[in-house]
Amino acid sequence: MINRVVFLVLVILLTVVGGGLSFGCFSSEEDIFYVAGIPDQNVGELTRQYDRFTEKLGEELGVTVKYVPTIDYAATVLAFARGDVHLAWFGGLTGVQARILVPGSIAIAQRARDAEFHSVFIHNTSVEVKNLSDLQGLRFSFGDENSTSGHLMPRHFLLEAGINADVYFDGAPMYSGSHDKTWLLVQGGGAQAGALSEAVWEKALEQGKVDSAKVRVFFTTPPYFDYNWTVHPGADDLFGEGFIERVQSAITTLNDPEILRLFSADSFIESSNSNYRQIEDIARSLDIIR
């Protein structure tokens, strides 16, 4: 059964720990701009990705920028909402969750591909799967419960095909925790099929990590908006008026090929909260956000 209380738990934690949902004021002996991102890949990959990104961003902004690792998607949202993080690389769903918890926060940038993002459904070649209906009775894995491309949208498109993910598979669906763990789980046979980010899948293929004799894509979803850089409104209070605009400019003019490759991006472009209304509507319809 889908865990529908994660978002509610975040609200309760913030109320108890933070004394309410009022954010936007940071205090520090040293003005440090803290950056985080949902842990959608292995730790080594994320460390390389954010080490280079924070160094470059610090050079452009003239401030100290530090990466804050988080243990899971919900923890990234919580860190942002508590004010421990000023800028976060969110998926579509986690970005919506964060912006609900922190009024005034805005999605300032995305990759061009995030305007037409896709999930891929994969299967272990030991079972014959040609379409979504062939998943009946198989062991199936999503990614993290709060993942847009690894859970929310795959569940949505399954439902559009008349498939209730809670009862259609061999037992309840598994949740691997990240995209790379999903394809590894399917490749190894722990799950017979699964769904994950198209970008992570393509990167794994390009890096020669996937054994194509054991795992293959059989369905790609229609497009939707996904990943985004969301900034906390308190950043202007800490670093001065106009700082958020400077952050947006630094990200959208970023042309370091290695950083862009690590983010599976050709470039970053401007974004806005309105791009993610479909994600919020679907999350509410599935009772993931209340």
> pLDDT tens digits, residue range 158-169?
999 999 999 999
What average pLDDT does range 127-137 have in this prediction? 98
pLDDT of residue 143: 97
Please compute the mean of the pLDDT values over residues 126-132 and round it to a whole number: 98
Torsion angle, CA of 243/248/250/253, rounded to 10 degrees? -150
* 92 and 107 Cβ atoms separated by less than 8 Å: no
Lowest mean pLDDT among 45-54, 100-109, 186-195, 203-212: 45-54
Q: Domain residues of the chain, as ranges? A: 6-22+29-114+225-285, 118-220
Average pLDDT over the chain reads 91
Specify whether the CB–CB gap between 14 and 47 falls below 8 A. no
Task: Pick the closest to residue 268 from 284, 251, 285, 245 (CA basis).
Answer: 251
Residue 290 has a pLDDT of: 79
pLDDT tops 80 at residue 11: no
Could you tell me how far CA 198 lies from the centroid of its own chain?
12
- Judged against a pLDDT cut of 70, whether residue 19 lies above it is answered with no
Percentage of the chain beyond pLDDT 70 is: 90
pLDDT band per the 50, 70, 90 thresholds, residue 17: very low
Band of residue 149 on the pLDDT scale cut at 50, 70, 90: very high
Residue 256 CA to its chain's centroid (Å): 22
- pLDDT beyond 70 at 4: no
3-state SS, one letter per residue, for 262-286: HCCCCCEEECCHHHHHHHHHHHHHC
In the structure, what pLDDT confidence band is assigned to residue 10 with cuts at 50, 70 and 90? low
pTM over 0.85: yes
CATH class, domain 118-220, is alpha beta
Q: 6-22+29-114+225-285 and 118-220 share one CATH topology?
A: yes
Mean pLDDT of 12-34: 53
Tokens 């790609």 locate to: 220
The model's confidence at residue 15, banded by pLDDT at 50, 70 and 90, is: very low
In this prediction, residue 30 carries a pLDDT of 63
280 with 289: CB under 8 angstroms? Answer: yes
Check residue 42 and give its pLDDT.
81
Q: Is the per-residue pLDDT at 3 higher than 60?
A: no
Rounded distance between C-alpha atoms, residue 227 and residue 117, angstroms: 9
From CA 134, how far away is CA 189, in angstroms rounded? 17
Q: Which alpha helices (H) appear in the chain, and where do they start and end?
A: 6-18, 43-61, 73-82, 92-101, 153-160, 179-188, 198-206, 234-239, 243-252, 257-262, 277-285
pLDDT of res. 161 = 97
Cite the beta strand spans of 57-143 per DSSP E. Answer: 64-67, 87-90, 106-111, 119-124, 140-142
In this predicted structure, the answer to whether residue 288 has a pLDDT above a threshold of 50 is yes
pLDDT at 24: 42
pLDDT digits (tens, 9 = 90+) for 61-78: 999 999 999 999 999 999
Q: Which CATH class is domain 6-22+29-114+225-285?
A: alpha beta
Beta strands at 32-37 and 87-90: parallel, antiparallel or unpaired: parallel
pLDDT exceeds cutoff 90 at 18: no
pLDDT the model gives residue 118: 98
Name residues whose C-beta falls within 8 Å of residue 145's C-beta, 6 or more positions apart in sequence.
2, 3, 6, 73, 151, 175
Rounded to 5 degrees, φ, ψ at 172 are -65, 150
